[in-house]
Amino acid sequence: MAGRPVIIAIDPGVKLAGVATHEDGELTSAFLVKGVDALNTASCVWNELIGQFPIDILNGAELVVEKPQVYRQNLLRGDPNDLIDVAIMGSAIAAHFSNVVWYLPREWKGQMPKSVVERLIKEELSPEELEWIE
């Protein structure tokens, strides 16, 4: 690894988590990991990562995780208690890393709908990077 550290980005979910890895500023992989509950999903993500990187690389990696956020009652879609399990999943992964950065959804994507965020992200990716997510 020459230069910038490995960055691992996690979109935590209870039964499905999105993972993207970056090395030297380039997207190197993007994948989904399925589990049966928050802790199992976190374990499955960790197993995927240790299959992809030597442990010494992971020890120096930066983990970026979306921090669940409860919105005002009138904006809620679903039970806010569901976010507790999402936070458990993200925290279980974060426990493996010494360098963790948490972002609230509004800090990295604002209040844009998911479809708009996906389109904007895809516009910025190279053809090679697009292959990782499609």
Q: Output the pLDDT for position 101.
A: 96
State phi, psi for 31 to the nearest 5 degrees: -160, 165
- pTM for the whole thing? 0.78
Inside any domain, residue 17? yes
Show the tokens assigned to 42: 């976190």
Inside any domain, residue 50? yes
Distance CA 9, CA 31 (A): 11
How many domains is the chain partitioned into structurally? 1
Inside any domain, residue 1? no
Inside any domain, residue 42? yes
Inside any domain, residue 2? no
Domain that holds residue 56: 7-133
Domain at 29, CATH number: 3.30.420.10
Q: Looking at the predicted structure, is the pLDDT value of residue 17 above 80? A: yes
Q: Assess contact for 124 and 130: CB atoms under 8 A.
A: no
Band the pLDDT of 1: cuts 50, 70, 90. very low
Distance CA 133, CA 41 (A): 19
Inside any domain, residue 52? yes
Inside any domain, residue 13? yes
Angle (deg, nearest 10), helices 38-52 and 82-94: 30
Inside any domain, residue 15? yes
pLDDT digits (tens, 9 = 90+) for 23-44: 998 888 888 999 999 999 999 9
Q: Output the pLDDT for position 4.
A: 66
Distance CA 118, CA 130 (A): 12
Which is higher by pLDDT, 57 or 1? 57
Q: Assess contact for 17 and 30: CB atoms under 8 A.
A: no
pLDDT digits (tens, 9 = 90+) for 54-112: 999 999 999 999 998 877 665 556 677 788 999 999 999 999 999 999 999 878 766 77
